[in-house]
Amino acid sequence: MFKWKPGRLFWKLLLALWISMILTITGAATYFHLTGMTPPEDARIARIGVLPIVPLVSAGIAILITGLALAWYLSRPLQHLHWALHRMAEGRLDTRVQPLMGNRSDEIVDLAHDFDRMATQLQQLTESRSILLHDISHELRSPLTRIQAAIGLLRQDSTQTDAMISRIERESERLDALIEELLTLHRIESGSVEVAHERVDVVELLHAIAEDADFEARASSRSVAIDAPDRFISNVNGELIYRAFENVIRNAVKFSPEGATVEIHARVTGHGRALETLVRDRGPGVPPDMLKAIFQPFTRVEGSEPIRGVGLGLAIAQRAIEMHGGRVNAALREGGGLEVFLVLPLEGKD
């Protein structure tokens, strides 16, 4: 619990006000002395030199009361901030200081508001990191557990060698893919990836992704159709942009029912300054309150458990596009399904 006590700033402000009063009195006395003028004589008025005592005492009391009030008013909220910073340093990220400011409305309250916003962001970041670490541990443990189970069965019954080796290979591939996506996500979030270092025809890249996705989708009675302009050349990290579009398109294919077609519509906007791409599917969609959450790592929609994946694809896609100054968002498609909208500018962020 915060307890206020006079600090150094309080006494400095009070001293400054007292000094200002003393200088004012000294200036008045000096003026009378240099000019030879004196206030009207009155034997009933006690004086210190040429200055009457009563006004001096009244001024001193007024300055004392005003100084105490002003020093308290200015130093108290700063002590609140000092207390909150100490709690933050101790790891108590739920500390908020603005409620302690009362009905004040000044720059110190603005500082308190900025502090609370920073504390909220740090708390959310720390909590998300903890959740991410838990999810990573879970995702790594699952295939390792299945590999250990397959090895155990193989030792018990050597006749299942081929089946168990196939299982181990699949789980090893799953682990490799998970680690690769985690490394990609880490490189993006840490800023260790170069953004604009090559000129890439993004439309050509889209066609290549759509062709590969369509080839694989036809094995499960699905298809991919693309409608895009002739070209759109941008300064981007080709590998990241490829990964972003591929993750979104393959995710749409993965959740589409048999016989459905994933539609890709791309167009150049802003007088050639940006490429807008819309990827639409006829899958189950997501709850409206999860349209933003699906871009967070390891987010899985209820009911999607049978579909293979670790929940990193859309997170990587959004961060890769945003690194280039673009944006990604999702919306529910009329008639069922999901629409993912990607905007990539002509020149990526430096």
Q: Tens of pLDDT along 246-292?
A: 999 999 998 899 999 999 999 999 888 999 999 999 988 889 988 98
Q: Say whether both 281 and 339 belong to one domain.
A: yes
Question: Which of 104, 159, 81, 94 has its CA nearest to residue 127?
Answer: 94
Examine residue 155 and state whether it is found in any structural domain, yes or no: yes
Pick from 122, 145, 180: which residue ends a domain? 122
Specify whether 82 is located in the same domain as 208: no
Domain boundary among 78, 95, 122: 122
285 and 338 Cβ atoms separated by less than 8 Å: yes
Q: Is residue 2 part of a domain?
A: no
pLDDT in tens, 177-210: 778 777 777 777 766 666 556 889 999 999 999 9
Provide φ and ψ at 176, rounded to 5°.
Answer: -65, -45
Domain boundary among the residues 190, 210, 236 is at 190
Looking at the fold, whether 168 and 205 belong to one and the same domain comes out as no
pLDDT at residue 90, rounded to an integer: 84
Are residues 103 and 227 both part of a single domain? no
Look at residue 232 in the predicted model and tell me its pLDDT.
Answer: 93
- Looking at the structure, tell me whether residues 225 and 318 fall in a common domain: yes
For 308-312, the CB contacts below 8 A with 24+ separation are 308/254, 309/251, 309/254, 310/139, 310/177, 310/178, 310/181, 311/135, 312/178, 312/181, 312/182, 312/185
Same domain, 90 and 153: no
Q: What are phi and psi of 144, to 5 degrees?
A: -65, -40
Residue whose pair of structure tokens reads 């000294």 in the numeric block: 26
Residue 127 pLDDT: 75
One domain, residues 98 and 145: no
Report yes or no on 298 lying in a domain: yes
127 within domain boundaries: no
Domain count, the chain: 3
Query: Do 167 and 213 belong together in one domain?
Result: no
Judging by DSSP bridges, how do beta strands 327-332 and 261-269 pair with one another?
unpaired
Residue 350 within any structural domain of the chain? no
What's the confidence (pLDDT) of residue 303?
Answer: 54
C-alpha–C-alpha distance, residues 132 and 298, integer Å:
8
3 located within any domain: no
23 touches 15 (CB < 8 A): no
**Total number of residues shown for the chain:** 350
Q: What is the 3-state secondary structure (H, E, C) of 175-231?
A: HHHHHHHHHHHHHHHHCCCCCCCEEEEHHHHHHHHHHHHHHHHHHHCCEEEEECCCC
- In angstroms, the CA 10 to CA 6 distance is 6
23 within domain boundaries: yes
The string over 79-113, giving b where at least 16 C-beta atoms fall within 10 Å of a residue's C-beta and e elsewhere, is: bbbebbeebbeeeebebbbbebbeeeeeebbebbe
Q: Are residues 186 and 209 in the same domain?
A: no
CATH code for the domain in which residue 230 is found = 3.30.565.10
Walk along the chain (350 residues) and give the pLDDT tens digit of each residue.
555 566 566 676 767 777 777 777 676 667 666 666 665 565 455 555 555 665 666 666 777 777 677 777 777 777 888 888 888 888 888 888 888 877 777 777 788 888 888 888 888 777 767 766 766 776 677 778 888 888 888 888 877 788 888 888 888 887 887 787 777 777 777 666 665 568 899 999 999 999 999 998 998 899 999 999 989 998 888 888 998 999 999 999 988 999 999 999 999 998 889 999 999 999 888 899 889 888 887 776 765 544 455 578 888 899 889 988 899 999 999 989 999 999 999 876 65
Rounded-to-integer distance, Cα 120 and Cα 128, Å: 12
Tell whether 139 and 48 lie within a shared domain: no
Q: Could you tell me if residue 56 is inside a domain?
A: yes
| The model scores a pTM over 0.75 | no
Claim to verify: residue 138 and residue 118 sit in the same structural domain: no
Do 171 and 152 share a domain, yes or no?
Answer: yes
Which domain does 234 fall in, by range?
198-345
